[in-house]
């Protein structure tokens, strides 16, 4: 089963083309601004008649964080769905935010082109972008979050490649306990480690920086 997250403005024809290209779509989550709420309602009614399960989220079309947070929330509420994000419609900010959040949640983003000759097939008009391998819809908490946040603060200050003992001293925890949580963070792709001599050095990854940026 698949879920399509679709920001839109006044124009909606690209939405129908995208859903037609992905014939297995079951659920559609429309991201609708207040200005085009009536358009979203009409589209939802039409898509429902064609057998789609449709829900609408009202978003601020000029607030990047609002768009991204909404997409991430939808993904977290549907962990078992294969998720696609149509990045074609709405304001430029909505399209950019939809693209960023698709990578954040590990969804497949796609773009629907305008026909040039009228003879193109739907499959030719829908362009799928490569999807990331590491979704960031999980949540971390407690000491594990403290370890990542500490590493993130040091990373921003230019301090990288710290050893477990330094993290433990900063947080008042044993190196053994810190090592366990570093291993958990490494499995999620948020940190990486290098062994130099007898010491293990810990680095925040680009994915870890992105996670901290959107969850702090």
User: How much is the average pLDDT of 32-48?
Assistant: 95
pLDDT digits (tens, 9 = 90+) for 133-172: 556 667 788 999 999 999 999 998 999 899 999 999 999 9
Q: Mean pLDDT over all residues of the chain?
A: 88
Q: Which pLDDT tens digit goes with each residue over 190-215? A: 899 998 888 889 999 877 887 787 67
DSSP 27-50: EEEEEE-GGGHHHHHHHHHHHHHT
Quick one: pLDDT at residue 32? 96
Question: What is the pLDDT averaged over residues 23-42?
Answer: 93
Strands (E), 46-166: 53-58, 82-86, 108-112, 126-128, 162-163
Q: Determine contact, residues 33/90, Cβ cutoff 8 Å.
A: yes
Which domains are delineated in the chain?
A: 2-128 (3.40.50.10770), 142-215 (1.10.10.10)
To which residue do tokens 């768009």 refer? Answer: 67
Query: pLDDT value at position 100?
Result: 81
| Phi, psi of 152, rounded to the nearest 5 degrees | -65, -40
Residue 87 has pLDDT above 80, yes or no: yes
């Amino acid at each position: 089963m698949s879920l399509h997250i679709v920001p839109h403005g006044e124009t909606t024809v690209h939405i129908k083309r995208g859903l037609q290209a992905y014939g297995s779509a079951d659920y559609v989550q429309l991201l609708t601004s207040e200005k085009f709420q009536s358009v979203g309602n009409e589209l939802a009614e039409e898509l429902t008649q064609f057998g789609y399960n449709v829900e609408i989220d009202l978003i601020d079309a000029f607030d990047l964080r609002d768009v991204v947070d909404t997409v991430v929330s939808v993904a977290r509420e549907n962990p078992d769905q294969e998720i696609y994000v149509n990045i074609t419609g709405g304001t430029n900010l909505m399209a950019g935010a939809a693209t960023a959040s698709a990578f954040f949640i590990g969804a497949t983003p796609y773009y629907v082109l305008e026909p040039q000759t009228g003879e193109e097939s739907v499959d030719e008009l829908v362009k799928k972008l490569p999807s990331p391998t590491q979704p960031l819809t999980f949540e971390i908490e407690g000491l594990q979050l403290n370890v990542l946040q500490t590493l993130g603060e040091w990373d921003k200050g230019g301090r990288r490649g710290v050893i477990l003992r330094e993290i433990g001293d900063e947080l008042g925890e044993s190196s053994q306990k810190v090592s366990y949580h570093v291993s958990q963070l490494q499995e999620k792709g948020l940190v990486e480690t290098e062994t130099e001599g007898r010491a293990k050095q810990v680095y925040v990854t680009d994915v870890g920086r992105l996670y901290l940026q959107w969850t702090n």
